[in-house]
Amino acid sequence: MDDTPGTTTGAARVAARARRAVVTGGAGFVGSHVCEALVAHGVEVVCVDDLSTGDLGNLAALRDEPRFTFVEADVSRGLDAVGDEPVDLVLHLASPASPLDYLRLPLETLLVGSAGTRHALELAGRAGARFVLASTSEVYGDPEVHPQREDYWGHVNPVGPRSVYDESKRFAEATTAAYRRSRGVDAGIVRIFNTYGPRMRGHDGRMVPTFVRQALAGEPLTVAGDGSQTRSVCYVDDLVDGILAFAATDHPGPVNLGNPTELTVGQVAEDVLAATGSDAGVVHVDLPEDDPRRRRPDAALAERLLGWRARTPWPEGLARTVAWFRAEDGGAEVAAAV
Ligand code: NAD
């Protein structure tokens, strides 16, 4: 294997050291792309998902793949269903992730970050496997420093509505660090910033899919506040590459994975209107409680450590996302017509 950072894909680097991986949350948006990348590189994948926010349709391409197994189970209750075969890598992605989902599933969200993370770490410990926690930029809360570096401890409201997600991930990070320190598990943390791409759900409340769905339906885009708040969005293929490149190391992290290019929400809305050819315009709605004003990763550590950076330009990622939503819409219309 060529160990020079940046010269091989993340999946190829994992394949050089892992034969069998367990991916929790593998039926979700990010997880399904992770499963596909691993299987494509010859890694056997066991995907564990309770389908609470994921969809088996995301795994359609893997259905007949002998290297892929799907297990329907709630990670918060345990991972016994995975069995006793050797495991080299545990990627813990299971968690409601969109605000609509975690506000609808507050206790489940807290539980999968706490009990779920513990079960996934126990599995990795028993198997002697590498463990990676999919944490989030939300651990920084409404940050007081920009851009956010990994050594910033965050500014989180522990009792606000978003706390079920933010604090669940903070607890998950603490648990991961403790298993590494006290049990010697080869555990690491990636902090994922806003990601977008094919397989997001148009009704999941996240900015890009919401705007694309609205634009394709000819509805005005609902911009929160005056739209001057910023987000940085990373295309899903880039993110998957970063997660897997990190998984192939034994680094503890946390490492930020995100695209440092900052866009205002208003700009994103304009770009979506242009990419879809919609002339429906925008309407302004109230800002959600605890909505962060700015969010931008300092991605220097990922670049130094992994040779990784987000490479897909926003217009290109947006075009691919719009194409996928159009094809899905077309598929749904055909299905409804027969
Ligand atoms: P998603 O909702 O599409 O996927 C999450 C998956 O986890 C779903 O398939 C869901 O059914 C499954 N799941 C939830 N609770 C479970 C449980 N108790 N047991 C088993 N499976 C369970 O979300 P996503 O965007 O793909 O996010 C994946 C991971 O990445 C999450 O941990 C999320 O916090 C993290 N993350 C994502 C983003 C992003 O922008 N997409 C940003 C930061 C962090």
Amino acid, res. 316? E
For the entire predicted model, the pTM comes to: 0.94
Cα 4 to averaged position of ligand 1 atoms, centre (Å):
30
Unique residue bearing structure tokens 């490149």 = 245
Q: For residue 323, what pLDDT is reported?
A: 97
Give which of 200, 189, 206 is closest to 93, Cα–Cα. Answer: 189
Map the chain to HEC letters: CCCCCCCCCHHHHHHCCCCEEEEECCCCHHHHHHHHHHHHCCCEEEEEECCCCCCHHHHHHHCCCCCEEEEECCHHHCCHHHCCCCCCEEEECCCCCCHHHHHHCHHHHHHHHHHHHHHHHHHHHHHCCEEEEEEEHHHHECCCCCCECCCCCCECCCCCCCHHHHHHHHHHHHHHHHHHHHHCCCEEEEEECCEECCCCCCCCCCHHHHHHHHHHCCCCEEEECCCCCEECCEEHHHHHHHHHHHHCCCCCCCEEECCCCCEEHHHHHHHHHHHHCCCCCEEEECCCCCCCCCCCECCHHHHHHHCCCCCCCHHHHHHHHHHHHHHHHHHHHHHHHC
Number of other residues whose CB lies within 10 A of the CB of residue 155: 12
Which member of 102, 140, 165, 235 is catalytic?
165
User: For residues 317 and 315, what is the distance between their CA atoms, to the nearest angstrom?
Assistant: 6
Take residue 119 and report the two structure tokens written for it.
């079960």
Take residue 224 and report the two structure tokens written for it.
């929160």
Interface TM-score (ipTM) > 0.95:
yes
Determine the distance from the C-alpha atom of residue 41 to the mean position of all C-alpha atoms in its chain, rounded to a whole number: 20
Name the percent of the chain lying above pLDDT 90.
Answer: 86
What confidence tens digit (pLDDT) does each residue in 137-171 have? 999 988 888 899 999 999 999 999 899 999 999 99
Among 23, 29, 100, 191, say which to mutate for ligand 1: greatest number of ligand atoms within 8 Å of CB: 29
What confidence tens digit (pLDDT) does each residue in 64-100 have? 999 999 999 999 999 999 988 999 999 999 999 999 9
User: For residues 279 and 288, what is the distance between their CA atoms, to the nearest angstrom?
Assistant: 26
Spatial contact of 223 and 271, defined as CB atoms under 8 Å apart:
no
Active site residue 165: yes
Ligand 1 pocket member 116 (CB < 6 A): yes
Take residue 45 and report the two structure tokens written for it.
């994948």
Name 251's Cβ contacts closer than 8 Å, sequence gap at least 6.
188, 305
User: For residues 276 and 115, what is the distance between their CA atoms, to the nearest angstrom?
Assistant: 42
Cα 316 to averaged position of ligand 1 atoms, centre (Å):
24
From first to last of its 338 residues, what are the pLDDT tens digits of the chain?
344 454 579 999 999 999 999 999 999 999 999 999 999 999 999 999 999 999 999 999 999 999 999 999 999 999 999 988 999 999 999 999 999 999 999 999 999 999 999 999 999 999 999 999 999 999 998 888 889 999 999 999 999 989 999 999 999 999 999 999 999 999 999 999 999 999 999 998 899 999 999 999 999 999 999 999 988 999 999 999 999 999 999 999 999 999 999 999 999 999 999 999 999 999 999 987 767 777 789 999 999 999 999 999 999 999 999 999 999 875 554 444 43
Unique residue bearing structure tokens 């197994």 = 69
Give which of 97, 99, 185 is closest to 134, Cα–Cα. Answer: 97
User: For residues 334 and 338, what is the distance between their CA atoms, to the nearest angstrom?
Assistant: 6
Ligand 1 pocket member 49 (CB < 6 A): yes
Ligand 1 pocket member 97 (CB < 6 A): yes
Spatial contact of 22 and 82, defined as CB atoms under 8 Å apart:
yes
Cα 34 to averaged position of ligand 1 atoms, centre (Å):
12
Nearest CA to ligand 1 atom 35: 134
Take residue 235 and report the two structure tokens written for it.
């295309």
**Four-CA torsion 137, 169, 135, 86, nearest 10 degrees:** 180
Phi, then psi, of 282 in degrees rounded to 5:
-125, 155
**CA-to-CA dists, residue 251 to 98, 187, 332, angstroms:** 28, 8, 43
Among 51, 70, 71, 95, say which to mutate for ligand 1: greatest number of ligand atoms within 8 Å of CB: 95
Take residue 30 and report the two structure tokens written for it.
């990010």
